[in-house]
Amino acid sequence: MHILKYFKDVRLKGNIYWVLFLRLMLAMLLFTLCRVGFYIYNTTYFPEMTVVHFLRIMWGGLRFDMTAVLYINALFILLHLVPFDFRFNSVYQAMLKFMFFILNGIGIAANLADFIYYKFTLRRTTADIFNEFEEGPGAGNLFFRFLLDYWYVTVFAVGIYWLMVFLYKRIHVEGPMVQNRIAYYSAGVLAIPMVAYLFIGGVRGGFKHSTRPITLSNAGEYVKYPRETNLVLNTPFSVFRTIGKTKIQKVKYFESDEAAASVFNPVHTPEDTVAFRPDNVVVILLESFSKEFFGAFNKDKPGYKGYTPFLDSLIQHSRTFQYSFSNGRKSIDGPPSALASLPTLGVPFVLTPYATNKFNSLATTLGDKGYHTAFFIGHPNGAMGYTGFTQLAGFQEYYGMDEYGNSDDSDGLWGIWDHKFLPFFADKLNEFKKPFFATLFTVSSHHPFKVPQEFEGKFKGGDKPILKCIEYTDHSLREFFNTVKKEPWYKNTLFVFTADHCSSDIIFDESRTNWGYYSVPVIFFKPDNSLAGHTNEIAAQVDIMPSVLGHLHYDKPYVAFGRDIFREKLQPIAFNYNDAYNLYQGEYLLTFNGEKTIGLYNFVQDKMLTHDLRNEKPEVIEQMEPKIKAIIQQYNNRLIENRLTVN
């Protein structure tokens, strides 16, 4: 209480920290008004809007506005925090005022520009705008032209800038309020880390350990239709979040996309007339399950039994592949690749400016066939951006930690323990209308690689910390199957297993190569043993969607960057990106840097990729290089032109 006497004159009005808060809230208000204006000027693009839904969009938009406002005003905030008396000087405050007007004025101008530009692009402007105007008319020329042609936006701009100046001038600073120098400087120094903590949480979009910085795809959490994400987003956020991530550019290796399609065509048009088979479908994404953890895939290693005894037993009755690959190295790469046949080629799909474009997925295609669709993950809701992605991918329901309803079953870091969440998953499957399509993403094989206390000592583990977690999740899957195999829907269900990506814990040296880094299982299991068989063919995550549709005899055209392993006679390939493009075909791995082939290896015989065959096998390069060029051209151009669906 003795200390409080030094702060007896402190009050809210005029307090430097309260003033900072009000000034930031003013910026938030201006961004919100820009969102309203954006809707008003583009209302014809959102015909299904209701008042309630618009309020939800406005609420969601605050999250993105906060991030943008904090980015824009980072220096402005810092200059309020320096614990010296000159903060209260009229000249210093005048400098802050003009800084606020300039920085936030630019942010508002970016939002206003999209009132107009949205009509041309049907998406928020992103960092690639700087490349768009490198040639042709400059941005300055277009700007002044737009001022004349779209005078009503200019009127809106004048109004909002007037409001900014009017309200800012009514927020006054008084002080310093603390006269004791020791108390004054101590409080000022302590305020810096507190504000820094709030700043970081605001920029990231949350304070949870599992929260990744929010991206464009998170806007999908608040919308019914993908195009509505442009209402949730603001333009400065879209630009900031895509700086350095807009590596995807149109390419023209072939004179036309039709010519590229003659080499690689992502449009699949089923030809047979067999009746659609409405089997249930369950896709299980296993966190960090490298292929080297499986005994069944490593029989060439004497004495090695692996760490997945249950999955190994299931593999004996499944369609599997000796060489199967992920299309990325991050968790956020897995769901788009496996569920929508959209690979990562330089930038994770959900981080591209095109993540809100329309695309087809297992949820949309099967949903159109009357399936009940749902996505399950034990993470805290909103973590990793999956809530937004699954909305955009057409899933009808999302089940996370909130829906599970008991945070006591959490590992305290990543989410609900697998052995707890899998029974919840089983219960929900029993409740679902049939047929259903459900995806489960496991979470427990994550750093710091713990298993629940009741399982301590149960698993042998190994010299890598993740191995006990792999055994634990495998055990949890065994219990799950022991439960669901008693249900009547089980025998009519196709189960698909893959990993989101490989683990960073590596056992065998060959797993440190450009093919080993991506070696994950791709497993198709049907309880009637009808799919059993192991093949030396190549498969990839992007093959899952077309193969599931092929197994069900889906009869409509769709876009997918993989192949239907059951019906299509295409040559098996896989591809991914790791600072260069990798194409796997037959026994060969070709590495292409965007301009030329920089490596060619026989990854089957030369597992460590020590012998470059470029000079010895020009005929292989001649065959493979056009294929990777066609893939890149089809992917990049379709992404940019919003052609990820047939219609």
pLDDT digits (tens, 9 = 90+) for 285-303: 999 999 999 999 999 999 9
Phi and psi of 301, rounded to 5°?
Answer: -105, 105
Task: Please check whether residues 306 and 216 belong to one and the same domain.
Answer: no
pLDDT given for residue 199 in this prediction? 76
CA 140 to chain CA mean position, Å: 34
Do 236 and 285 belong together in one domain? no
Cβ partners under 8 Å of residue 231, min gap 6: 35, 38, 39, 46, 57, 61, 223
Answer yes or no: is pLDDT of 519 > 50. Answer: yes
Q: Which of 43-47, 374-378, 534-538 has the lowest mean pLDDT?
A: 43-47
Whole-number pLDDT of residue 174: 80
Average pLDDT rounded to a whole number, residues 34-44? 92
Question: Do 579 and 470 share a structural domain?
Answer: yes
pLDDT digits (tens, 9 = 90+) for 392-409: 999 999 999 999 999 999
Which tokens belong to 24?
Answer: 């930031």
Please state, in angstroms and as integers, the Cα–Cα distance from residue 428 to each residue in 375, 459, 500, following that order: 11, 29, 23
What integer pLDDT is reported at residue 301 of this predicted model?
Answer: 93
Whether residue 455 lies inside any domain: the answer is yes
User: For residues 87 and 84, what is the distance between their CA atoms, to the nearest angstrom?
Assistant: 6
477-486, 570-579, 624-633: the lowest-pLDDT one: 570-579
136: pLDDT strictly greater than 50: no
Q: What pLDDT, on the 0 to 100 scale, is given for residue 602?
A: 97
The domain boundary residue, chosen from 210, 242, 274: 242
Reply yes or no on whether the pLDDT at 134 is more than 50. Answer: no
Neighbours of 225 (CB within 10 A): 16
- Distance in angstroms (rounded) separating the CA atoms of residues 171 and 314: 68
pLDDT tier at 210 (50, 70, 90 boundaries)? low
Residue 501 placed within a domain: yes
* pLDDT, average across residues 523-546: 96
- Write down the pLDDT at residue 2: 56
Q: What is the pLDDT of residue 143?
A: 57
User: Both 444 and 312 in a single domain?
Assistant: yes
Q: What angle do CA 45, 50, 55 make, to 5 degrees?
A: 100
Query: Using one digit for the tens of pLDDT, what is the confidence trace for 609-623?
Result: 999 999 999 999 999
The β-bridge relationship of strands 280-286 and 436-441 is: parallel
> Do 215 and 285 belong to one domain?
no
Residue 91 pLDDT exceeds 60:
yes
Exposure class string for 232-270: b at 16+ Cβ within 10 A, else e: bbbbbbbbbbbeebbebeebebbeebeebeebbebebeb
The pLDDT > 70 percentage for the chain reads: 90
319: domain CATH number is 3.40.720.10
Please check whether residues 596 and 567 belong to one and the same domain.
Answer: yes
Whether residue 429 is contained in a domain is answered as no
Sign of the torsion angle spanned by Cα atoms 373, 378, 381, 386: negative
Report the C-alpha gap between 561 and 539 in whole angstroms.
12
Cβ partners under 8 Å of residue 373, min gap 6: 362, 363, 366, 367, 394, 395, 396, 397, 436, 437, 438
Q: How far apart are CA 296 and CA 282, in angstroms?
A: 22
Mean pLDDT for the stretch of residues 451-468: 93
Exposure on the CB side of residue 608, measured as CA atoms within 13 A = 3
Which region among 193-202, 226-235, 496-505 has the lowest average model confidence (pLDDT)?
Answer: 193-202
Structure tokens at 565: 């392993």
Instruction: From 507, 126, 594, select the one nearest 308 (Cα to Cα).
Output: 507
Q: How confident is the model at residue 1 (pLDDT cuts 50, 70, 90)?
A: very low
CB 490 within 8 A of CB 484: yes
pLDDT surpasses 90 at 193 = no
Asked if 17 and 120 sit in the same domain, the reply is yes
What does pLDDT average to over the chain? Answer: 89
Look at 191 and 505; give whichever has higher pLDDT.
505
CB-neighbour burial class of residue 331 (10 A; exposed 0-12, middle 13-18, buried 19+): buried
Residue 496 and residue 469 in one domain: yes
Residues 346 and 231 in one domain: no
Whether the predicted pLDDT of 367 surpasses 60: yes
**400 within a domain of the structure (yes/no):** no
What mean pLDDT is predicted for residues 623-631? 98
* Residue 162 resides in a domain: yes
Residue 574: pLDDT over 60 = yes
At 274 the pLDDT is 87
CB burial of 429-465 (b: ≥16 within 10 Å; e: otherwise) equals: beebeebbbbbbbbbbbbeebbbbeebeeebebbebe
Going by the DSSP 8-state scheme, the letter that residue 42 receives in this structure is T
283 assigned to some structural domain: yes
Average pLDDT over residues 345-366: 89
For the chain, the first-to-last Cα distance in angstroms comes to 70
Confidence of residue 137 (pLDDT cuts 50, 70, 90): very low
> Does 178 reside within a domain?
yes
* Structure-token pair, residue 626: 């056009």
Closest Cα partner for 322 from 533, 560, 568?
A: 533
What angle separates helix 235-242 from helix 51-72, to the nearest 10 degrees? 50
How confident is the model at residue 139, as a pLDDT?
46
Q: What is the DSSP letter of 585?
A: E
Question: Domains in the chain: how many in total?
Answer: 2
Q: Which domain holds residue 29?
A: 3-242
Query: Do residues 251 and 637 make contact, with C-beta atoms less than 8 angstroms apart?
Result: yes
Domain finish residue from 189, 207, 242: 242
Residue 95 has a pLDDT of 95
The secondary structure of 205-219 as a DSSP string is T--STTPPPP-GGGG
- DSSP string covering 357-414: S-B--HHHHHHTTT-EEEEEE-SPTTGGGHHHHHHHTT-SEEE-HHHH--GGGB-SSS
Q: Which residues of 380-405 are buried (b: 16+ CB within 10 A; e: fewer)?
A: bbbbbbbbbbbbbbbbeebbbbeebe
Rounded to whole angstroms, how far apart are CA atoms 614 and 171?
Answer: 69
> Residue 352 pLDDT > 90, yes or no?
no
Residue 396 lies in a domain: no
Per-residue pLDDT, 208 = 64
Residue 221, pLDDT above cutoff 50: yes
Same domain, 179 and 222: yes
The residue out of 242, 267, 292 marking a domain boundary is 242
More confident residue, 565 or 140: 565
- Specify whether 47 is located in the same domain as 159: yes
Per-residue CA distances from 585 to 63, 602, 628 (Å): 45, 10, 10
Of these ranges, 148-152, 336-340, 406-410, 593-597, the one predicted with the greatest mean pLDDT is 336-340
- For residues 275 and 232, membership in a common domain is answered with no
Residue type, 58: M
Question: What share of the chain has pLDDT > 90, as a percent?
Answer: 65
